[in-house]
Amino acid sequence: MAPSGRGSAIAVAIASASLTAFQSEHLHFYQSSRISMACEYAIEAYGPDAHALPRILDEALDEVDRIDRLMSHYRSDSPLTRINREAARHPVHVDPELFDFIADSMRYQRD
């Protein structure tokens, strides 16, 4: 994970470069939303390929759903819930992505 603010600056730089490249092209608009993690996620996107935008936004929202399945504390079958339920009694195998996320969260909390 990038330190606070750094990821935003990179995203803005990429967006600026992308917009410059497309200034002479017609950009299509597409929006999509989905309920996940007990929130509504909404994405608005512009791009030169109107047919690709729905797939791209669906993939982004699918990633939100994937993270919810992995890290949800309110789903009884999520790996995070299993850690919370079982780790005090015995060692629990943890997916590397989830382990890194927890370790990074603890490090950020200390800093």
Two tokens, residue 29: 């608009």
pLDDT at position 3: 43
Residues 6 or more apart in contact with residue 108 via CB below 8 angstroms = 1
The helix/strand/coil state of 78 is coil
Secondary structure (3-state) at 18: helix
Domain boundaries, the chain: 27-110
For the residues 85-91, what does the mean pLDDT come to?
A: 96
Give 20-55 pLDDT, tens digit per residue: 655 567 999 999 999 998 899 999 999 999 999 999
- The pLDDT value recorded for residue 38 is 87
DSSP, collapsed to helix, strand or coil, labels residue 52 as: coil
Token pair in block for residue 76: 């009884």
Residue 33 near residue 40, CB atoms below 8 Å: yes
